């Protein structure tokens, strides 16, 4: 039953997605007797765990992304195509690209990741910022530094307060990290920059619908994280369910009833769902999906009924040893990629042995020089956790000379030393004078 490549023809592996999973799969196939084609809509691999640093002006765009071609340049069996996969013909074993080109495969690894989910309120996307792509991070940076400029410019105290209020929705690692970075940026590294803004008037509010931030960590670490955020000035509001977002703020429902928070900048870090192609793949294979749109894969990561198709990373739902779905972490995607790729190396069309996740733990940075960290039952917090966080991220970052030093510098100085990246790449919108400087809107 194994569709071995015909004699004289090398196996063809198509990988969809150049994120942590896709790139690790390609690397693992280095030197294997297959032709690898990696397809991604963008030309770069994104180091997503650092996107929040781009948004807060700590590091530059280039320090958070690297050319996929550069990463695979010495791998002679790999070809990179910058394109979008629009269709998968599972019978013909062929993917179609956005300009109609077709790629035949013997093995298909789908690793197209996740995108933001607004829980049925797609209109919230229009006024809030999320943090999934490099363009998102640059846009958020423009909006954060633009908000400071607006606050400096207006004479109206109400308008100034709204510009200086930042609401972060979602208490997972991204929400926690972006809230902490924003609070530090506002209070510590913008000193003396403005003449009319008091750094201590800047409010960063972290809204989470659950009863604690970082729910994937232990209760103890959640408490540590909440305290760490409070220490740098973040207003942490657990049990706050967002019921509406518009351009002037966010409405929440909490223990004390409905509340309106006037904030010109709302950052969405609350939910993800499997990205675009996942649905097409589920339809084509009849695979079932979970609430987040992720494909429920076999224990060996293949799609049911299709041993030649594997789905890995954020778009796949596979239970871990505790029976809960594995988390959307880079380490999960990388381990899954290697598992699948090794089997392909050995001549299988996809993996055939069950995947076991080796839990390397989870980390999140909280404010300045502090983090929480859970490694195989060991819990760390404060500076020791931060050092662990640094080590792990710098290890995985790699790739570009000097980058580790720049990123380390950004953390060490909380952006103090890297004013280079606080550039707003556009003008402030011109407002009609009759609307008046007084309203500032």
Task: Just list the catalytic residues.
Answer: 177
65 sits near a copy of itself (criterion: CB under 8 A): yes
Segment interacting with a copy of itself, rule: CB under 8 A, options 8-16, 123-131, 314-322, 397-405: 397-405
61 sits near a copy of itself (criterion: CB under 8 A): yes
Nearest to 165 by CA among 263, 70, 255: 263
Q: Which of 53, 56, 60, 128 binds a copy of itself (CB under 8 A)?
A: 60
52 sits near a copy of itself (criterion: CB under 8 A): no
380 sits near a copy of itself (criterion: CB under 8 A): no
393 sits near a copy of itself (criterion: CB under 8 A): no
Total residues in contact with a copy of itself, by rule CB under 8 A: 64
| Overall residue count recorded for the chain in this entry | 441
Q: Which of 12, 27, 30, 67 binds a copy of itself (CB under 8 A)?
A: 67
- Smallest gap from Cβ 195 to a copy of itself, in A, equals 5
- Smallest gap from Cβ 256 to a copy of itself, in A, equals 37
437 sits near a copy of itself (criterion: CB under 8 A): yes
156 sits near a copy of itself (criterion: CB under 8 A): no
406 sits near a copy of itself (criterion: CB under 8 A): yes
158 sits near a copy of itself (criterion: CB under 8 A): no
Segment interacting with a copy of itself, rule: CB under 8 A, options 7-15, 80-88, 224-232, 373-381: 80-88
Binding mask 103-142 for a copy of itself (x = CB under 8 A): -------------------------------xx--x----
218 vs 409 by CB, closer to a copy of itself: 409
Query: 107-110 and 265-268: which strand pairing?
Result: unpaired
Q: Which of 27, 149, 345, 394 binds a copy of itself (CB under 8 A)?
A: 149
193 sits near a copy of itself (criterion: CB under 8 A): yes
Q: Which of 1, 7, 195, 324 binds a copy of itself (CB under 8 A)?
A: 195
73 sits near a copy of itself (criterion: CB under 8 A): yes
44 vs 294 by CB, closer to a copy of itself: 44
Applying CB under 8 A, the residues found at the interface with a copy of itself are: 41-44, 60-63, 65-67, 69-70, 73-74, 79, 81-84, 98-101, 134-135, 138, 145, 149, 152-153, 191-195, 399-403, 405-406, 409, 417-428, 430-437
């Amino acid at each position: 039953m194994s569709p071995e490549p015909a004699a004289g023809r090398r196996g063809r592996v198509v990988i969809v997605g150049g994120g942590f999973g896709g790139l690790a799969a390609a690397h693992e196939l280095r030197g294997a007797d297959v032709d690898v084609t990696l397809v991604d809509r963008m030309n770069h691999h994104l180091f997503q765990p650092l996107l929040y640093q781009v948004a807060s002006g700590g590091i530059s765009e280039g320090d958070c992304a690297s050319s996929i071609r550069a990463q695979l340049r010495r791998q002679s069996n790999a070809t990179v195509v910058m394109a979008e996969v629009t269709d998968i013909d599972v019978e013909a074993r062929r993917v179609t690209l956005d300009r109609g080109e077709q790629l035949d495969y013997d093995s298909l690894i789908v690793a197209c990741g996740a995108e933001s989910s607004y829980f049925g309120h797609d209109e919230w996307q229009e006024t809030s910022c999320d943090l999934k792509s490099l363009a998102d991070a640059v846009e958020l940076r423009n909006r954060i530094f633009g908000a400071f400029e607006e606050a400096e410019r207006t004479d109206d105290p109400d308008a100034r307060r709204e510009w200086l209020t930042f609401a972060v929705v979602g208490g997972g690692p991204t929400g926690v990290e972006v809230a902490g970075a924003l609070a530090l940026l506002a209070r510590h590294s913008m000193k003396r920059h403005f003449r009319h803004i008091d750094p201590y008037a800047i409010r960063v509010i972290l809204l989470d619908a659950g009863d604690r931030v970082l729910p994937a960590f232990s209760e103890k670490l959640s408490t540590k994280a909440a305290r760490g955020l409070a220490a740098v000035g973040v207003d942490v509001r657990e049990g706050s369910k967002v019921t509406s977002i518009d351009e002037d703020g966010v409405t929440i429902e909490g223990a004390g009833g409905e509340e309106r928070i006037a904030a010109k900048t709302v950052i969405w870090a609350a939910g993800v769902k499997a990205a675009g192609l996942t649905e097409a793949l589920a339809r084509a294979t009849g695979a079932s999906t979970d609430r987040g749109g992720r494909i429920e894969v076999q224990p060996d990561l293949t799609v049911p009924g299709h041993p030649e198709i594997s789905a890995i990373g954020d778009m796949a739902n596979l239970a871990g040893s505790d029976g809960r779905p594995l988390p959307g972490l880079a380490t999960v995607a990388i381990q899954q990629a290697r598992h699948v790729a090794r089997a392909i190396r050995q001549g299988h069309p996809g993996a055939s042995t069950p995947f076991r996740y080796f839990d390397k733990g989870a980390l999140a940075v909280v404010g300045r020089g502090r983090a929480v960290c859970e490694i195989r039952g060991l819990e760390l917090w404060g500076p020791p956790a931060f050092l662990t966080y640094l080590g792990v991220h710098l290890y995985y970052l790699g790739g570009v000379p000097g980058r580790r030093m720049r990123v380390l510098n950004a953390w060490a100085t909380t952006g103090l030393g890297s004013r280079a990246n606080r550039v707003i790449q556009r003008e402030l919108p011109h407002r009609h004078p009759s609307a008046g400087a007084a309203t500032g809107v």
